[in-house]
Chain A
Amino acid sequence: MIIPVRCFTCGKLIGDKWEEFARRVKTGEDAGEVLDSLGIKRYCCRRMLLSHVEIIDEVLRFYEEAEKRKEARSYYYQQ
């Protein structure tokens, strides 16, 4: 859903590193090198970022669509 605050295994704080990680990987940098530069050494913490999918962005789209429909419906009934 949204990036976990801490590594599941060791408890290191990783939530604050996600946005930088995602941005830099998107620009074409090597994911392993980005992790190294962020100071994420252990493989438990590395997999947290590597395997993460930010689904919350998609979930938010459903909410936005539902709101739009609600608006359209209320507009229709006003007519």
Chain B
Amino acid sequence: MEKDGNTMRLLIKGVDTPFINALRRNVLAEVPCMAIDEVVIIENSSVLHDEIIAHRLGLIPLKTDLDSYNLPEECSCKSEFGCNLCRVTLTLDKEAKDGTITVYSGELISENPNIVPVSDAIPIVKLAKGQKLRLEAYARLGRGKDHAKWQPVSTCTYKYLPRINIDAESCDACGKCVEICPRKVLAKKGDKIEVRDLLACSLCQDCADVCPKEPPAIKIGWEENAFIFGLESTGALPPERIMIEAVKILKKQLKEFASQIEVQKA
């Protein structure tokens, strides 16, 4: 429906709530993305503890290449430490020689130029003159259900598609509903009330409550099988790709479920 950088809104029709909720949960918990998982601190004389720096590094979203990397548990190397197909090494070596400096995410040197932080301007730590920070970080693919750092999105939501019915016979266009609407969904046009921006409606029913007519001339309902699906990527993956992956994973899950039922029957 609309896309703006890392955010996307979709209008999905002809599905039911369980399906769309499964999709949402897959986006949040199952779509893999890259994040720093292990950090070897070689030298750290900064004012932040090793653990805090490691945690901050972990939360930095990395641009993910899903096609050329495997999940560590599915990788052919079967190694706990990982191989070139399931792990990326990033290094950082900084010393404040004269005066205070800020160490940014952009100063992390990645072994793969495609797997780099989404933004180069995230401060990791500040170093006073003479302080040093040297470390090696290992990034892996992971899933949101294991840690929020592996969530490819910051928000993923859906809501019913609103349906607004205005009874033209009993409505006298008093304009009270236009005034009270917090999202400015309605507009007065001549002696009629018109829907200006249907998608903005939050189904709050304030307009129906304020209507002086009995029963209210305006009725707010929703479509049973249409949803507005919102998604905001952290930048690790493009939003379209996240949706595609979520659908793929759902398909796989359903296939597995079906095969389990078959086994039970047999």
A interface residue numbers (CB < 8 A to B): 1-7, 10-13, 15-16, 18-19, 42, 56-57, 59-60, 63-64, 67
Contacts and interface: CB of A to CB of B under 8 A. Distances in A.
B119 interface: yes
A10 B120 CA distance: 21
Nearest to A56: B126
20 contacts: A2-B123, A3-B123, A4-B59, A5-B59, A5-B60, A5-B122, A6-B154, A12-B154, A12-B232, A13-B61, A13-B122, A13-B154, A15-B105, A16-B120, A16-B122, A19-B123, A56-B47, A56-B48, A67-B128, A67-B130
Given A11-B151, A19-B121, A5 B56 contact: yes
B183 interface: no
Chain B contact residues, majority secondary structure: loop
Contacts of B89: none
Contacts of A56: 47-48, 125-126
A69 to B, nearest CB: 14
Nearest to B144: A11
Contact of A13 (B52, B129, B235): B235
Contacts of A2: 48, 56, 123, 125-126
Nearest to B234: A13
A63 B119 CA distance: 29
Chain B: interface size category = 20 to 34
Contacts of A12: 154-155, 232, 234
Contacts of B126: 2, 56-57, 60
A4 B151 CA distance: 17
A42 B121 CA distance: 21
